[in-house]
Structure 1
Amino acid sequence: MKVADNADHYARVHKDMEDACSFDQPLVVMNALATVVACYGLLSNSSAVVIGAMILAMLLGPISGAALALVEGDLALLRKASLAVGGGVAIVLATAIVIGFMHRDVPLTHQILERTSPNFFELMIALGGGAAGAYASISPRLSIAFVGVAIATALVPPLASCGLLLARGEFELAAGAFSLAFINIVAIQSAAAFVICASGIARGHWAKLLAPNLINVGILLVLFGALLINLRTLVGAALFEASITQGLRQELREYPGTFLADVRVSRGHEPDATLIRAVVRGPRELNAGDVGRLEDRLPRPSDGTPLQLRLRQIHTNVMTRNGPLFSAEDAGNGDR
């Protein structure tokens, strides 16, 4: 990695990082405004607005300052950076909670819900963004502005989602959103610390600088393991739901005019049961025997739990100028 190797440049980088750790009026105002724009982007389900809002956010500087403080063992700078990070997080949460109370009647959107489950990919994005942000901070040829926008997308949207969910009393989902933001903060700080050490910017003997990075490595390994397990669980659940959907569509071909409208897979009231909720539309009313046959032909859960199929039926006919395309009589004429 190439950086300017003169003392003046090192001193300037240090000063810039220290100045970015101030919990002052610009940090409060810009993070509050970024949250306002982000919240309305989340509520309107607009990814473009959510990303655009991050131009206003000021969170990268304090996190990079915390990384520098940890690497150098500068407790005074660490306290200053921690106050700025904590204050920025508090401002985002408070602003989002207020907006959430104002719009509790607005349905939860995909943009909000997709930020309630931390995963391995989010961790990798945060690591890449943190490394890019730290490199831009210490390089005289790069601007940190655009990198800061990219990193803010990993922090303000999940924090804003957390605040919106807290205002609705959705504490479990809010905890997931906050966990995502926390994991991203740790990942960004860790990546920034590695880059600072590798660049030679940090002051002190290499042995002194090694300990904080070993701690970061340990934390990251724990996060990697936990999120990889979570990713494997999510992928397995998605594949199982896809196999159930495909199986139901295949079996419903035996019932002319009947088609699958929706499928949901979840745990039933009994802890050792996998519940399949399906919605079907068609001219024929399926009876208990039909549901039993469908249930018996579906793929089994990998964990060995019994499968329960619950079918919600919506009676429909496809009408043409010559009459119904599929009537109840057509569906039950023995063509199965």
Structure 2
Amino acid sequence: MTGTGPMPSTPSENIQPATVAGTARHWRWTLLRRIVHFRETWAEEVANIDQAAVIAKIRPDGAWSPRFAFMSSMAAGIAILGLLQNSVAVIIGAMLIAPLMGPIMALGFAIATGDFAWMKESVRTLLGGVLLALLLVVIVVTISPIQAVTSEIAARTQPTLFDLGVALFSALAGAYAVVRGREGTIIGVAIATALMPPLAVVGFGLATGQWSIFGGALMLFFTNFMTIALSAAIVARAYGFSASLSPDQTRRQTLMIVVSFLLLAIPLGISLRQIAWEATVQAQARAAVGDVFPASARITDLNVDATATPVIVQAAILTRSAQPGADSKVEAALERRLKRDAQVTLDQYLIGSAVDLAAARNDMARLRDVAARAERDNADISRDLALLAGVDAKAVTVDNEKKRATVRAVRLPDAGLGAYRALEERMRAARPGWAIELVPPTLPLPSVTIADGKIAESSTANYQLLRWAARRGPLPISLSGAGATTLQQALAPDGVVANLTEEAKAGDGIVTAAWQLPGGGR
């Protein structure tokens, strides 16, 4: 007889809950055993470290020495030359000889062991090396004919998450190598990577008076320095280095060490907060672009100013279909994500296939190189024209597309119009292919002699100077005297506005020219 009750459960169904619970207990037990094993292994490794010998070995590295002073200065000199030349190879050369690892590791271990005297000595050594390096950099930049902001300089004007990562990993590697007795040039190079180029950029900003570069590079240097010093102290503590290894300390000295640690940690925390915010804005900006553009679209350039109000985002998008009103749509999406005002500017580049995508990326890379070169040219031209005209570089107008540059010169002592024309010719000769225009001050204009109804041969030079000044000058000119009509007609094809006064006459004679002030005055 067939039963009508519920079917009995299978063996596998009966044991499944017990099996899951048993598996979870097994993994917890395995994890606990691994943790206990790691702690035992770590304790054994720490016990095998001769801490007193390690301290005795690295203590002298925190002391000032002529070698440290000389090598720090030379490394800074090589670094700034590499930055000015935009040469990565030269910058790497500076890192190879920078002796920064010794005093920084000494500082980290001094903090870990609570050795106040050792900490003061290490700080003095580092500060002396930094000041010497800055002094040499300022001298090199001041006498250098090249003072443009290269891409290598620009890349070291703001701390980023990647810079912080380089400093952190360098410090961990350096501290481990010191503890294990395997320190060497390679570890020192890693630490110099995070410190020497930013320090050279600090000197560049100081020498050129570009305070935004100075402040940004100083923040990067200080952030990397704090990261390395504190990371080294943490690694030293993890290996059992403590105050028991240092001479007796007073409570006041211990308090000062704690305060010093906090003084390092607080600015580092502020920098980390800024870096984290910038990384958040970068990620949210990419997500906002993804909200508007299809998945096939690609962001090739993304520039973010997270400190601005509103937040500024500029990006280049490679897409197969244009998105009308994309700027405002991405801006709205980003504001929803950040809960903050934003300003978004997008450049859309249409592509049709994977091949087009690769080609578009190559074109974008070439455009970036061209833009970078143009920016360097603009900076060089602005600097040169400003020096010759006696004005600030901001007063120079540069149109890179039309290869045209204009600057209004200040009045120089004992300089006539001829001197300003010679300056312009000198500028043009230095920049072939460029249209250089120097606007002279309103100095007295030369007179021109008219004979037989034309410009006299003896006045040709005066006429050419008047013609140049009238074309460059900020005001129209007025003509008076016999022959003024003839001179007015000679200047007209050049677009020169020359007004005749009541004293203007026909015929031959000497024509007097003057700047015509607003309101008809002279």
Displacement after TM superposition at 1:276 (Å): 7.8
State how far apart, in whole Å, the 2-side matches of 1:153 and 1:136 are.
17
* Aligned pairs (5 A) from 1:42-191: 42-103=83-144, 105-140=146-181, 142-191=182-231
The aligned residue for residue 274 of structure 2 is 226
> Is the 8 Å Cα contact of residues 115 and 243 (structure 2) preserved in structure 1?
no
| Alpha-carbon distance change, 50 to 4 in structure 1, aligned in 2, over 3 angstroms | farther
Displacement after TM superposition at 1:85 (Å): 1.2
* Aligned pairs (5 A) from 1:1-336: 2=45, 5=48, 9-103=50-144, 105-140=146-181, 142-204=182-244, 215=262, 221-234=269-282, 297-300=325-328, 301=331, 302-303=334-335
Count of matched residue pairs? 277
| Alpha-carbon distance change, 243 to 40 in structure 1, aligned in 2, over 3 angstroms | farther
3-state DSSP of counterpart to 2:222: helix
State how far apart, in whole Å, the 2-side matches of 1:235 and 1:36 are.
38
Task: Please give the TM-score of this superposition, normalised by the length of structure 1.
Answer: 0.69
Letter of the structure 1 residue corresponding to residue 203 of structure 2: G
Task: Please give the TM-score of this superposition, normalised by the length of structure 2.
Answer: 0.46
3-state DSSP of counterpart to 1:100: helix
Bigger mean CA offset, 296-305 vs 152-161: 296-305
Unmatched runs of 5 consecutive residues or more in structure 2: 1-41, 246-253, 317-321, 336-340, 348-398, 403-522
| Alpha-carbon distance change, 60 to 306 in structure 1, aligned in 2, over 3 angstroms | closer
| Alpha-carbon distance change, 242 to 84 in structure 1, aligned in 2, over 3 angstroms | farther
> Is the 8 Å Cα contact of residues 73 and 133 (structure 2) preserved in structure 1?
yes
Instruction: After superposition, give the CA deviation of every residue in 1:65-92 in whole Å (9 maximum; x if it has no partner).
Output: 1112212221111110110111111122
State how far apart, in whole Å, the 1-side matches of 2:400 and 2:323 are.
15
Unmatched runs of 5 consecutive residues or more in structure 1: 251-261, 279-293, 316-336
> Is the 8 Å Cα contact of residues 263 and 276 (structure 1) preserved in structure 2?
yes
| Alpha-carbon distance change, 4 to 59 in structure 1, aligned in 2, over 3 angstroms | farther
> Is the 8 Å Cα contact of residues 276 and 309 (structure 1) preserved in structure 2?
yes
Letter of the structure 1 residue corresponding to residue 280 of structure 2: R
| Alpha-carbon distance change, 41 to 233 in structure 1, aligned in 2, over 3 angstroms | same
Give the fraction of aligned pairs with identical amino acids, expressed as a percent.
28
Q: Greater relative contact order: 1 or 2 (C-alpha under 8 angstroms, separation 6 or more)?
A: 1
Displacement after TM superposition at 1:105 (Å): 3.5
The aligned residue for residue 333 of structure 1 is none
> Is the 8 Å Cα contact of residues 108 and 230 (structure 2) preserved in structure 1?
yes
| Alpha-carbon distance change, 313 to 213 in structure 1, aligned in 2, over 3 angstroms | closer
| Alpha-carbon distance change, 217 to 182 in structure 1, aligned in 2, over 3 angstroms | closer
State how far apart, in whole Å, the 1-side matches of 2:305 and 2:115 are.
49
Instruction: After superposition, give the CA deviation of every residue in 1:266-315 in whole Å (9 maximum; x if it has no partner).
Output: 89xxx76979899xxxxxxxxxxxxxxx99734222345577899x9979
State how far apart, in whole Å, the 2-side matches of 1:177 and 1:226 are.
15
State how far apart, in whole Å, the 1-side matches of 2:305 and 2:281 are.
13
Task: Find the structure with the greater CA-based Rg.
Answer: 2
State how far apart, in whole Å, the 2-side matches of 1:200 and 1:94 are.
39
Letter of the structure 1 residue corresponding to residue 272 of structure 2: F
What is the aligned-residue RMSD (CA, Å)?
4.1
